[in-house]
Structure 1
């Protein structure tokens, strides 16, 4: 029997005329949380497009979130197996 599992990722943004900062957080079923940040800076000659800044900052925060989750998973594998696993970063 299969059961559905879901994780919710929260993203929050802080913006000014040329900077966008994103904070990402996922709460795992064991109650632990992984939090990361990403940022984007608009070049002074680019049009002011807040959504684009949010997309770049979010992508950077989510990329870091993915890397931290991989590290966390491999640490747990190492602890359970007593050996060193070798993460493959995509």
Structure 2
């Protein structure tokens, strides 16, 4: 059995009513990065954890889509045929 470790870092920053997240996947082959943003409605209570969670979720979702796009490109590079993955 061969075990590999991948890690994901999520960086969060907040400015006024916006929270921005960057998700970075580290693998032996390299790195993929995606981002996400959450904006608080001025009428809502200021609960930073909610903005962090939403921005991080959006960044991780975008990262998952980037990884799927990478997989498609890798498969097409090997098979020389179009690939359509179910998402």
Task: With the length of structure 1 as denominator, give the TM-score of the two structures.
Answer: 0.90
Give the secondary structure class of the aligned counterpart of 1:56: helix
Mapping of residues 13-52 of structure 1, within 5 Å:
13-30=12-29, 32-52=30-50
Q: State the alpha-carbon separation in 1 of the partners of residues 77 and 15 from structure 2.
A: 44
Mapping of residues 54-69 of structure 1, within 5 Å:
54-69=52-67
Which structure has the highest strand share of the two?
2
Aligned length: 87
Task: With the length of structure 2 as denominator, give the TM-score of the two structures.
Answer: 0.93
How large is the RMSD of aligned CA atoms in angstroms? 1.0
Unaligned runs of 5+ in 1: none
